[in-house]
Structure 1
Amino acid sequence: MNTSGSSIISALGAGSGIDFIKLAGDISAASFAVQRSTAEARRSSLEAQISAAAQLRGSITSLASALGDRIRNGDLAPKGEIANAAVAKVSVPTGLSPRGSFSLEVTQLAQGQTLVSKSYASGAALVGEGTLTLRFGTVAGSGFTPDAARAAIDIAVTADDTLATVASKITRASGGAVTAYVATGPDGAQLVMKGAEGAASGFVLEATGAGGGAVAGDLSYLGWSPASNAGELRSTARDAAFRLDTVAMTSPTNRVTGLPGGFTLNLTATNTGAPTTLTFASNTAAISGVMNDFVAALNDIVAQVNDLAAPVGGELGNDPGARELRRDLAALAGQVVMPNAAAGEPRTLGDLGLALNRDGTFRLDSARLNQALERSPDAAAAMFTVGPTGVFATIDRFARENSLVTDPGSLGGSLRRFETQLASTDDRLAAITEQQEALRERLTRQFVASERRVAASQSTLTFLRQQVDMWSNSDR
């Protein structure tokens, strides 16, 4: 608080006995007390409404997000089962629903090429200066067919490079297409090089050394091609080969994609001459589980609405966004989620067992859900995808529409309105503070002026008294 007026009064030696500085502050505070109290009460109310609206919006958004996560992680997708589980593992990408059964016969697994070099005294042995060149392609017998789509990789080798440092250079230069390391056994240290799976991932290693002889210590000693193979080739790169419903197929890796319905196979063993069966069935247990969780989550939201939007005492008791959310919740069981469903197939959330109680809460009609799962298991499973239709799309749309800030009748619109009103209230409080301070300063100036006049009057009165006393004394 400004104390200049108090200093002036003290300098004048004023003696009115009144604290005008405090008086000015008290008067200015009292003048705006009602306005400030009203604005602060309004601010507290708006903060409570914002918190309540944000809580409800967060709950419905979290419901949609959690449901989407359950569907995307594949928990609800049809489960594939292979009679001979040792042959392969099956997985279903999110949003796909393969159906039916298939025969599977794996005749060959994919593998990468493995080379083991001639022996060196140790991993620290110098290999000689020069250039190593990796070329990729197909190795067949003593022949090599380069892959024209893949550029050769040149690796500079210095006079200080050892077998171990060359291994690191090969791995790094190839970007992992060929991994190399040094293995030490009874025959000494050898460079092991392993390529990626697939017939086209074979490779040759050309070596141009400075010594001119293929002996240890000259880089040419590391070179390899099918024509010069003397036992260095330990495994040849090849594709996986299998039959799906007797149709011959190949894959450059043991992970096979692009199969009917979008399922993926990870081949793990061969079963030549003994085909196994792959079947897909809807995961009815998982669907029942997610519906139970869904009903519980909806009831949590209903409880929040009943509390926060209670007609008496609720922060959102008369809010249009909360009323709209309550109406939308009540209509949810009858919401059509599969508009193109065939006759007799489930098309609404009610068909999946979602039922509304008289008090606005939800329950799971297990009999109706089980009926849908028994009569139309595939159609019920198709309702749990991340496509434009289905349970997730419906709940996601429900959450978005109620959170839309551009719709004044939605919960999001209410939240924006409260935030706008709060900003306006804060501006009003700031204006009240400015006006109160201006009044205090004006009163202080006026009181200072009054104090000056009082002081001047007292000074004159003292002088006159002194003169009267002097005149009285002189007459004696």
Structure 2
Amino acid sequence: MDNPGSSIISAFGAGSGVDFVQLADQLSEATYAFQRSNLETRNQGLEARISSASLLRNALTQLSSALGDRVRTGELAPRANVSDPAIVDVSTTSGVVPRGSYSLEVSQLADSQLLISQAYTSGDDLVGEGTLRIRFGEVNGATFTEDAGQAALEIAVDASDTVQTLAAKISSASGGALQAYVAEGNGGAQLVIKGEDGASNGFVVEATSAALLPTATPGDLTYLAWDPATDAGQLRQSARDALYTLDTVEYSSPSNTVTDLPEGLSFDLKATNVGAPTTITFSNDTSAITDVMNDFLVALNDLAGLLAEEATPLGGTLGNDPGARELKRDLARLTNEVVMPGAAPGEPSTLADLGLKTTREGRFELDTERLNETLSNNPEAAAAMFTTGPFGLFATIDRLARDNTTRSDPGSLAGSVSRYEAQVERNSDKLDRIAEQQENLRERLTRDLVAAERRISASQSTLSFLEQQIEAWNGSN
């Protein structure tokens, strides 16, 4: 866009031959060029430091996250050995190390109630208008004991409802507590209703017909009513709890998936074994620990290499950064830091006990001989170092990562990033002020030079008039 002074100067004929608008731009820019260049150069350096510090911080966070994932998946947890795997699948809570052996005897699996209605000709048959009420509780023989903690279902049945549409209403109204569908087998169309596992999840079906004289026949809603006292073969499976003993202690569970057991055990019960208890023992997977240590070594060396490159004293982007210096010190003392303060004498307590050592160049190596010795002599104590508890390998690296993401700590990488960002913001504010000052100067110079151009043009006009008068006088003489 042309400067507004250009048209003014053109109107006066630009008598001096000098482009004062361009001159004003150049003078104002030159006045602040050094300050602006200096601040822009500083910001470029700060942005480079922010990038480097963020790169190191993210690399450390990713190392902690990856290590945590390996620990949380249970990959390093002691492996359960079940003498009869057909009875149960066993898992353990992360951070808990089961010891010894356990005896398990399952006398009953948890199951759900299965109710089959009397037959209809087709799933499209009308069921009759009225209200279907389903109450939940325990069915025991010919008796039903309602569970007051479970709300009954009230289902409005229209005159147009069929066996199919009623099944859909039951499933929807129960919110997943019941599964209803129509089975059209050899005996005709039958409404199938399945509940959830657990003795308290049995149910009865009560029907109130809109007909003046209910007939309890197909087409009348009372045909679908059921309770255990009048069962005529509709009940095909009763709801019940799982019953089992662990080390002869009796337990029950509404589900075959059992958690919160002693020693962090969890069971997925699959079959009964009355009179033939199965034995559960645990053994540490030393090969998994070795694999993790090798992977950890690679990731740690990647971090150390990146730190050495970014924070080298001569020429490194973070050569004088306090956060980078602190991380160097943290890595230097990592191998000998006590990560298991409660370890008994002779048990591993440092990462050096797991074979981790440093070289003179600041790199890390794995002493496999020492690692194997630890795994052989103290397998349980070594496994305890690979949990999500407050101590151990993961807790140490996680704490290191967290310390370096605390922006309020000036000695952390995050503190460095915060400090550099604040400096960039201050410099950017200064650049904004310089731009404003430069524009004000340019406008002032433009006004002053345009005024000067007017005076020069006026002088040239006067001089031209005088020259013409002198020539006229000389000609008349």
Q: TM-score, normalised by structure 1?
A: 0.96
Q: Deviations over 1:308-327 (max 9, x none)?
A: 01122210112122111111
**Residue 376 of structure 1: how far off its partner (Å):** 1.7
Asked whether 1:416 is paired with 2:415, we answer no
Cα distance in structure 2, aligned partners of 1:216 and 1:432: 91
Deviations 1:425-471, CA, capped at 9 Å, x for gaps: 21222222222222222222221121111111111111112222222
- 1:289 is matched with 291
Deviation at 1:260, TM superposition (A): 1.9
Asked if 1:444 is matched to 2:442, the reply is no
Q: 1:258 to 1:405 in 2, by over 3 A?
A: closer
Distance in 1 separating the partners of 2:407 and 2:6: 53
| Aligned partner letter, 1:70 | R
Residue 54 of structure 1 deviates from its aligned partner by 0.6
Identity in percent: 58
* More divergent stretch after superposition (1-10 vs 289-298): 1-10
How far residue 299 of structure 1 moved from its aligned partner, in angstroms, is 0.4
CA–CA separation in structure 2 for the residues paired with 1:135 and 1:316:
70
- Counterpart in 1 of 2:153? 153
Residues 1:325 and 2:327 aligned together: yes
d(CA) in 1 for partners of 2:177, 2:411: 59
The Cα of 1:295 is off from its aligned counterpart by: 1.3
Q: Deviations over 1:261-300 (max 9, x none)?
A: 0211111112222222111122322221111111111100
Q: Structure 2 matches for 1:3-42, cutoff 5 A? A: 3-42=3-42
Distance 1:341 1:177 in 2: 49
> Hey, what does 2:72 align to over in structure 1?
72
Q: Equivalents in 1 of 2:402, 2:42: separation in Å?
A: 29
Higher alpha-carbon deviation: 280-289 or 119-128: 280-289
Which residue does 2:455 correspond to in 1?
Answer: 453
Q: Deviations for 1:94-124, whole angstroms, at most 9, x for unmatched residues?
A: 2222222112222221111101100001111
- The one-letter code sitting in structure 2 at the alignment partner of 1:243 is T
Shift of 1:127: 0.3
The match for 1:51 is 51
* Structure 1 residues 169-190: Cα deviation after superposition (integer angstroms, max 9, x where no partner): 1112222212110000111100
Distance (Å, rounded) in 2 between the aligned partners of 1:141 and 1:33: 96
Does 2:353 align with 1:351? Answer: yes
Shift of 1:129: 0.8
SS, match of residue 196 in structure 2: strand
Q: Which whole-Å CA distance do the structure 2 matches of 1:35 and 1:274 have between them?
A: 88
Report the Cα distance in structure 1 between the residues aligned to 2:14 and 2:22, rounded to whole angstroms: 16
Distance 1:96 1:321 in 2: 35
Q: Within 1, Cα distance between the matches of 2:301 and 2:401?
A: 15
CA distance in 2, matches of 1:68, 1:105: 35
What residue identity is the alignment partner of 2:105?
Answer: E
Aligned match for 2:261, one of 243, 246, 259: 259
Amino acid at match of 2:342: N
Q: Distance in 1 between matches of 2:146 and 2:435?
A: 83
What CA distance in whole angstroms lies between the structure 2 residues aligned with 1:14 and 1:33? Answer: 28
**1:129 corresponds to:** 129
Counterpart in the other structure of 1:402: 404
Of 439-448 and 323-332, deviating more is 439-448
Per-residue displacement from partner, 1:164-216 (whole Å, max 9, x unpaired)? 11111111222221211000011110000111111121111111113311100
The reply to whether residue 230 of structure 1 matches residue 232 of structure 2 is yes
- In 1, the alpha carbon distance for the partners of 2:84 and 2:333 equals 48
Q: Does 1:208 align with 2:236?
A: no
Is it true that 1:168 corresponds to 2:168 in the alignment? yes
SS for the counterpart of 1:32 is helix
3-state DSSP of counterpart to 1:271: coil
- Give the corresponding residue for 2:138: 138
CA distance in 2, matches of 1:118, 1:264: 41
Report deviation, 1:2: 6.2
CA distance in 1, matches of 2:32, 2:148: 86
What does residue 307 of structure 2 align with? 305
Aligned amino acid, residue 304 of structure 1: L
Q: Distance in 2 between matches of 1:352 and 1:14?
A: 85
The match for 1:87 is 87
Structure 1 residue identity aligned to 2:122: S
Report the aligned-residue RMSD.
Answer: 1.5
- Between 1:116-125 and 1:36-45, the stretch displaced more is 36-45
Letter in 2 for 1:189: A
Deviates more, 1:382-391 or 1:48-57: 382-391
Counterpart secondary structure, 2:373: helix
Q: CA deviation at 1:17?
A: 1.1
Secondary structure, aligned partner of 1:334: coil
Question: Aligned residue for 2:367?
Answer: 365
Of residues 195-204 and 385-394 in structure 1, the stretch that sits farther from structure 2 once superposed is: 385-394
CA distance in 1, matches of 2:152, 2:6: 90
Counterpart residue identity of residue 111, structure 1? D
User: Could you tell me how far apart the structure 1 residues matched to 2:186 and 2:414 are?
Assistant: 74
- Paired position in structure 1 for 2:464: 462
Higher mean C-alpha displacement, 238-247 vs 256-265 = 238-247
Which 10-residue stretch deviates more, 299-308 or 284-293? 284-293
SS of the equivalent of 2:244 reads: strand
Q: Which amino acid letter does the alignment assign opposite residue 245 of structure 1? A: D
Unaligned 5+ segments in structure 2 are none
Report deviation, 1:45: 0.9
Q: 1:472 aligns with which of 459, 468, 474?
A: 474
Give the counterpart letter for 2:329 in structure 1. Answer: R
Encode CA deviations 1:228-259: one digit per residue, 9 max, x unaligned: 11110111111112222233322221112232
The answer for the alignment partner of 1:374 in structure 2 is 376
